[in-house]
Structure 1
């Protein structure tokens, strides 16, 4: 695999090359029917092409999109010219649909390689194109939509002619989706026979819609959660009453031809700390600004059955959560590449000998200083560990869809328990990596002359959207580790124990023993958390549990990478060993503090009087 020309691409591509080929062995996937037309050469060609576009179109536009934030004009969003050029270059590359079937414009690319290409673009300018949500939107329709809905809506999205969103949140509901008030009523006589799906009129407001408005594309396909009232006008107060609707910004016919404007109105843009290049919108549906076909309410088409909306939307959300891990890791990689390059070039200070500093000696690059090495090793461990975790999840997706029945079952179980970690661990620790990148650059890192402050601002959102840290923690400790009487946790344990045994065979016994002890501590903590059977006691410290669990998983990933590195002559192999040793020396020992409060069911945060805060 050749390398790109920029600092970022020179750092990123060899890491991906090692992880895909020396560790995950993705070339072996070409023996499966779905991937038989591919080879290592086609994988490398695609990633090199992605790197070229990312270097030439995304990297130059990234900072500009942050400084020239999208703005409203006449009810529409205006984005910089450079954002248009990046969008067009990505669309022309034609890889959004790469992992999909040919009938949807795809090329049967393995998800692991597909996700690697997204890492390249996310590191180079993640906020320039709404690829993540558009693909997740279209994938949901491919899974749950009718044949007509797939052809009319999903295919143009995957061609990147149109983009997609997901509209869940409302200002009064937030993450509590049972409290949404957006409603959907049948659109008159014959509404069930519309060829695009049962037709409803949607009214309500949605908040925090990434890509809710763009001037980059001719149409936007909103997937909207709403409740269908009962005949007496009441609505189900729980999530069971939620249905899912396709609500296009511009209505279309059965041939995907654009018709009239739907009653979807941009109310305002949210001005964020980061992700400033992506318009984040508040939308209203059915306020009468536009009146398609003569009556009030935005036209929406039901997906699947009434009341099945939340289950369907989780198909999109779980895909998005893995991609949040990708975005977080990619920003960590971008900051690390900048800090590493700066540390090699910036000269300051002199070597310290036993007799003190010799001022007659020339200054040394700051990478020679031990504390700078510490900060760079931490960034490497966080960013590259997160990248490996995301790619591992993508490799599981390939096994889930194309492996033997046993491989598919194993992959499904592991994805179930690992998804909260794939989303949350890079989001937290690559934020720390970006903070350390600023620290390495010192005062320069705090200025806009360097991109590391922008990476930190953009990174900060990842702990919040697509399910906050607290939500991921409750899902992990409250549900995932207890599924099937702990069978999912046991399945992960099989993988961890396999890496421990492999590490012992090649002489990494100290690290293998440390991971074994950490895994045992995690298992004991899980039992102790639930020993009283009271969810209020078990879940009060769900977030420290998530942190401890995530660090154990990251240690396992790093050790597994190190095992692969000992069998490889790849240029990245020594770095894999160094990152692993740093993680085991400095990071894995942290888990005791996190898991300790979980094991003893520390009640402070539950019982503290709010008046004391």
Structure 2
């Protein structure tokens, strides 16, 4: 199956995306318009992205020093051309209102279309952060902030970033030290929002400096000092600010003044080498505005509520990271499958052993190579189904209304840590298996699979590590609102179990899934049975892994049931592929949850109590 046929099946047969056209927001669309979007994105990815994937990896971003002492980033022309083509396609604003230049596409279609770019070259990049930045402003910004900043980002004229981490803080946002102070006595009267001056340093800022667009809009977390000029400890004082690289007026025109934001240097990464990753200095005085040091920033939302605003973008980015991880795994799988079909090596084992005089067989005929390919297929196609399911929940949340929208919100709360973490771990494993299928060639640069692995290794850290996602899931998401989200997910899973119990090819899998769900529920209760967070969360990552595998087993069972609905006798190879991958997952993967849940349920403190000196 190609990526396109897989997407068509998941969108149209499994998720019935065309049913969304019955809602007012999507009423101008139909299957043909959705297909046209996929066609366009597939073509741009094939022509502008895929041929330059290795180039972007080898010709990393570099800096040159300008006459004024500032650093300028140089990127390959291919990156400029690719991102220009992406912007011209309208995908930056695909899900937005017509009034904002959008297409009012369902997010599920947008996510599927973006999969082509991630598969072709995640390193060149698209506009995930720009779209997320603008979407945040559409939710939390003022009318003028939407018109000036978000609209220009959606058009591709400007790009956007998110600036959270700092060198001394990393993921610990409570330790943010960037300061924001009111810009003069009249600071509250600026039409673009209350105007502040920011000073501090931000690190790991993707696309923080480049010349692809005429301006870069940074969304920056900073603390407003209290009345005594001190920063409030923890996250309570964190606010969010729009900090443009170049100053603009209320008509969205550049004023010709550079804001006090300076590139301090580039981070040179294992993967995603084509995307600039920067250390930015805010307010160091290199580009004083109105003769004053301090980067000019405009408050978004209410003072002290910046983290709540930023999580709107972070949650969206987590699904985006999940899709990127999925498609990197998929790219490796396709490369490994093609190699296995064409590489002759070894001979089949017959009743008398191997016949050295017989011709070599292709490696895809060896059982262990099929095992590795099936693992990749089950990880990557399962992860793609999960991401599209979550994207469909976003559509339900925004357009269904009533109880359906509320259910979608709850399910997204519980599933977002899985949507980010599961593909970033298991599609990375798929990339490792793709290297293994290639043998010694796999770790040479003659083949692309080593780059796919390097690119994907970053995704276990992007937008929150496994440790953060595990604590979020076990420490917050399964407990929130008295466990309503977990209960709702359990009902959805059990509905699939009951449905598949009557399908002979899936009945055993349904039984296994029911048992796994019960085991997850028991482990959740036992983890929190003492009420001591340090005990409950000591094994949050094993819990995350077991929970994720259970969710993916559910996804695969549901996908296989849909395939059998269309083709009960499994006469089509595509159906055999869906059912076979589901069988592989239930036989080889789901049994792993026993070990993970064991340490969760017993609140095993081996890791937590291990003395530092004993290392």
Aligned-residue RMSD, C-alpha: 1.0
- Aligned-partner Cα distance in 1 for 2:548–2:250: 47
Q: Which runs of 5+ in 2 are unaligned?
A: 66-70
Residue 586 of structure 2 corresponds to: 584
- Aligned 1:495-510 pairs, distance under 5 A: 495-507=492-504, 508-510=506-508
Paired residue for 1:563, among 558, 561, 576?
561
1:225 counterpart = 2:221: yes
- Which residue is equivalent to 1:30? 21
Checking the alignment, whether the CA contact within 8 Å between 1:65 and 1:277 is kept in structure 2 is yes
Question: 562-571 vs 593-602, which deviates more?
Answer: 562-571
Q: In the alignment, does 2:518 pair up with 1:520?
A: yes
Distance 1:256 1:76 in 2: 24
Greater shift, 480-489 or 389-398, is seen at 480-489
Is residue 3 of structure 2 the alignment partner of residue 12 of structure 1? Answer: yes
Alignment deviations for residues 122-174 of structure 1 (CA, whole Å, 9 cap, x no partner): 11111213411111100000000000000000011111111110000111111
* Alpha-carbon distance in 2 for matches of 1:442, 1:213: 39
Which residue matches 2:32? 41
Partner SS, residue 293 of structure 1:
coil
Q: Distance in 1 between matches of 2:311 and 2:198?
A: 21
* Contact 1:18-1:572 at 8 Å conserved across structures: no
What is the rounded CA distance, in whole Å, between the counterparts of 1:186 and 1:482 in structure 2?
Answer: 39
Q: CA deviation at 1:571?
A: 5.8
Give runs of aligned pairs for residues 375-394 of structure 1, distance below 5 A.
375-394=372-391
How many residue pairs end up in the alignment?
604
**Mapping of 1:420-439 within 5 angstroms?**
420-439=417-436
Q: Which range moved further: 344-353 or 430-439?
A: 344-353
* Structure 2 residue 120 is matched with structure 1 residue 124: yes
**Following the alignment from structure 1 to structure 2, what is the Cα–Cα distance between the partners of residues 155 and 579?**
43
CA offsets 1:95-141 (integer angstroms, 9 cap, x no match): 11111111221111011000001111111111213411111100000
User: In the alignment, does 2:550 pair up with 1:548?
Assistant: no
Contact kept, 8 Å, 1:274 with 1:454, in 2: the verdict is yes
Contact 1:350 1:362 in 2 (8 A): yes
Q: Deviations over 1:520-578 (max 9, x none)?
A: 00001111111111111111011100000000001000001001100125763221111
* Counterpart mapping for 1:200-219 below 5 A: 200-219=196-215
The residue number in structure 2 matching 1:64 is 55
CA deviation vs aligned residue, 1:240-298 (integer Å, no higher than 9, x gap): 10000000001111111112110100001001111100110000001111012221111
Match of 1:331 in 2: 328
Pick from 607, 611, 614: which aligns with 1:605?
Answer: 607
Change (3 A) 1:247 1:571: farther
Of 272, 293, 296, the residue aligned with 1:296 is 293
Contact 2:118–2:125 under 8 Å retained in 1: no
Given that residues 130 and 163 in structure 1 are in contact (C-alpha distance below 8 angstroms), is that contact kept between their aligned partners in structure 2? no
- 1:171 maps to which of 151, 167, 176: 167
Residue 536 (1) aligns with residue 539 (2) = no
Pairing of 1:390-409 with structure 2 (within 5 A) = 390-409=387-406
* TM-score (normalised: structure 2): 0.97
Query: What is the alpha-carbon distance in structure 1 between the residues aligned to residue 23 and residue 573 of structure 2?
Result: 29
Residue pair 1:61, 1:86 contacting (<8 A) in 2 also: no
- Residues 367 and 154 of structure 1, relative CA distance in 2, 3 Å threshold: same
Aligned partner of 1:160 among 141, 156, 161? 156
Equivalent pair of 2:117/2:126 in contact (CA under 8 Å): no
Question: Structure 1 regions of 5+ residues with no counterpart?
Answer: 1-9
Match of 1:7 in 2: none
Q: Give the distance between the partners of 2:8 and 2:593, measured in 1 at CA.
A: 31
